[in-house]
Chains A and B, each alone.
Chain A
Amino acid sequence: MTSTTTPYRGEHDDTPLPAGGPNPPAGPDKNTGESLGREAWRRLKQNKAAMASLVILTLMALVCFIGPHLLPWALDEVDWSNFQTAPSLENGHYFGTDANGRDILVRTLFGGQVSLSVALVATFVSLVIGVLYGAVAGYVGGRTDNLMMRFVDIMYSLPFMFLVILLMVVFGRNIFLIYAAIGAVEWLDMARIVRGQTLALKRREFIEAAHALGVGGPTIVRRHLIPNTLGPVIIYVTLTVPKVILLESFLSFLGLGVQEPLTSWGVLISEGKDMMESAPWMLIVPSLFLAVTLFCLNFLGDGLRDALDPKTR
């Protein structure tokens, strides 16, 4: 047998790709390799649009939760001398008042508290349940998958309103019920998306290689399947947030969601829509807050997807 004289005969095979010389581009921990999370954060910081969005979103949340305490008006306080006045600096209603003489800015900020927390909680719930459920169904497959997905189909076919009313009847009116109801519906889409991704990934050889290594099922789902579904999942999350905010306003509009004097962006916008001609600021102000939030969320979502994908280094 001719022994291996020159194991490196195909030179070009062993030259590192042009990407980054013999060492990876500056990372604090070259030897052990960074965790995906820490490295993703480093990459996210380089994305200016995403970082700006993150800052704006944080500010938005701070303003919504702290702002109302700094303003001289309360949520349901009626200013008897100013009914439906346009924004002005003189009377202290910087964004105007509504038909009942309540300060629009304060109401918008309070509305932001509800909308942001509904969006955050419901999306998070749908993310956790949907990803786990979908990944498990897709990975286990066969009869289990069949049963799990038929359950999803049944949930889909239940009228959403019926579900909400049922919850109201059983538990009474409560803002947390809105979170639960929306979360209970939104995870269905997520589960389907993740299951589809998982079915495709499951056939890949690296999953088979993990089997051959003796890696257990739960670890395969956690370490190999879920990280690889992140791309579409994050895109879907950024689509879910606006959907949830609008769904909440729809519920409130029907009298099933938040109730006066409490409000949300969706409620404010739907009120403003009716006054569009006589008091446009009632529509413009909450819409602006909502639009900026959604805009930033989209940029942040894009940035996150890129940051979590090692290929974009």
Chain B
Amino acid sequence: MSALLELAHLSVTFDLPTGPVTAVKDVSLEVKAGETVALVGESGSGKSVTSTAIMRLLPELACIEGEIRFDGKTLTKLKDRDIRALRGNDIGMVFQEPMTSLNPMHRIERQIREVLEKHTKLRGDKARARVLELLTQVGIPEPERRMNSYPHELSGGQRQRVVIAMAIACEPKLLIADEPTTALDVTVQAQILELLGELQARYGLAILFITHDLNLVRHVADRVCVMQHGDLVEQGPTREVFASPSHDYTRMLLAAEPDGVKAPVADAAPVVLDARDVHVRFTTKRHLFRPDETFEAVRGIDLRVRRGQTVGIVGESGSGKSTLGRALLRLLPSTGQIEFDEMALQPLDQKALRPLRKRFQVVFQDPFGSLSPRMTVGEIISEGLKVHFPELSRREREARVIEALNEVKLDPAMRARYPHEFSGGQRQRIAIARALVLKPEFLLLDEPTSALDRSVQVTVVNLLRELQKKHGLTYVFISHDLSVVRAMSDTVLVMKDGAVVEQGPSEAIFTAPRVDYTKKLIEASFIDRVA
């Protein structure tokens, strides 16, 4: 059978004011009817540019060379009007961010009807019936009611189901899914993948699945294409590529799973952080005469961390894990007892807490948001020094900054630069340096690797381990990524809806989970590695 979609020597060049940048170089691949092809690569590899080129959705300054053939038509030569007739009709697209790819002002029914009215003759009651049918197919509970909802009333997974319903509304032959599950929790991700599988079987859909996550590819794709810096470096049947990768980059990606486990700490090590019965409540609505409405994000958590230990906190979004972390460092008000090095933190006010702050530091998830864009890296790192060691001279501060940058393996000469000039991994190193420069004993790591590419994740995980070993640091490591937590932690807390559902030594939890929820999490995150 001939290919449904064929890219022949596709190159995409962006004509930027600073000079042309080639995002995709001479890529040839094909997708046959009914098969799933995964396009894998890290950020900046050109995988999303390739998929948008197929839909001809690239900006004006992009110059496309080569040919894209779809179902007997050459897309690169079609007029704008003809390509619009294809989009949403023969080719459906699912984007990464389910919130932003739906119009927040329109009800669900109207969003889906828009596609139907554009490409089919269905109107009125018939269109409504079709919308209902689609919502049922994609497994939205109570579809009748949900039709009248606005996007913000649905959960992330449900929104993505709606996007999928829109994409398959006209029974397309090809579905382009650009990171369709990246923004979702692992258990939801598993459900969405299952749904895509079902739809593929029913309609004989071909799926071009774009992702950075090799783990997913192994479970969903028939064939895999690996991209690096705009080049297609390897392609072949999934099983073969995984069993014997031929290109170095593929091998590197495959090996980019954090491995090893943490060396245990003696049971007698002193307790650094001891929290008992921590509750965090948020006021959701204020009333003048009645009690305020509150939401309890963390419900009575006990946590004990010994020196040199890493405690992993795992949970899906909304489980309260980040809230707990912030409450532990008194960045959020909470009730319950928190002792740091046998000192009670709760009775202290922010001013009294300040001298202690240098002993416990934090690294956040978002390497783009956590550095002030108008300060140089040097200023960012030395800020804490100015607060806690005002006696240091400018030169001494400078020396400490250089030392910290060396520790995180960044070139100290870069400290006069601004954060936007660095890549995600480098920024995360800067954030770590900012914490380290104060020589803390305890670090709260709030999803420090979640926004990074797999291969970069490994380098950051390795760096954190190395620093822990060298300085005897104590970590609380918050993440939704089980494989990273497994590689880092002594003990693990599994959180759901603000409470702990299971806790224990890391390996025990991963090899023999007792609670159903933990089992589900582990299963859904496709950890295939045997320790």
Contacts and interface: CB of A to CB of B under 8 A. Distances in A.
Contact of A24 (B354, B416, B425): B416
A13 B373 contact: no
A12 B398 CA distance: 28
Interface stretch (B265-273, B294-302, B359-367, B495-503): B359-367
Contacts of B415: 33
Interface string A206-227: 1011111111100100011001
A228 interface: yes
Given A10-B456, A33-B379, A27 B416 contact: yes
Contact of A10 (B378, B417, B438, B455): B455
Interface in B438-468: 438, 453, 455-456, 458-459, 462-463, 465-466
Contacts of A81: none
Interface stretch (A14-22, A102-110, A163-171): A14-22
B142 interface: no
Interface string A1-34: 1111001111011101101101110010111111
Contacts of A228: 372-374
Contact of A23 (B413, B438, B453): B413
Interface of B: 42, 44, 229, 252, 256, 259-263, 326, 329, 331, 353-355, 357-358, 361-362, 364-366, 369-379, 383-384, 387-388, 394, 398, 409, 411, 413-418, 420-426, 431, 434, 438, 453, 455-456, 458-459, 462-463, 465-466
15 contacts: A7-B466, A10-B455, A10-B456, A12-B44, A33-B416, A205-B370, A206-B371, A208-B362, A209-B364, A210-B383, A212-B331, A213-B361, A308-B374, A309-B374, A310-B373
B462 A4 contact: yes
Given A33-B379, A213-B384, A206 B463 contact: no
A40 to B, nearest CB: 10
A212 B357 contact: yes
Given A13-B459, A224-B372, A214 B354 contact: yes
- Identify which of A13, A309, A310 gathers the most chain B CB atoms within 10 Å of its CB: A13
Given A1-B465, A20-B421, A212 B416 contact: no
Given A4-B462, A32-B378, A205-B369, A14 B426 contact: yes
Nearest to A308: B374
Contact of A214 (B388, B398, B431, B463): B388
B443 to A, nearest CB: 10
Which 5 residue pairs spanning A and B have beta carbons closest together?
A214-B357, A10-B455, A33-B416, A13-B425, A310-B418
Contacts of A33: 376-379, 415-417
Contacts of A27: 416
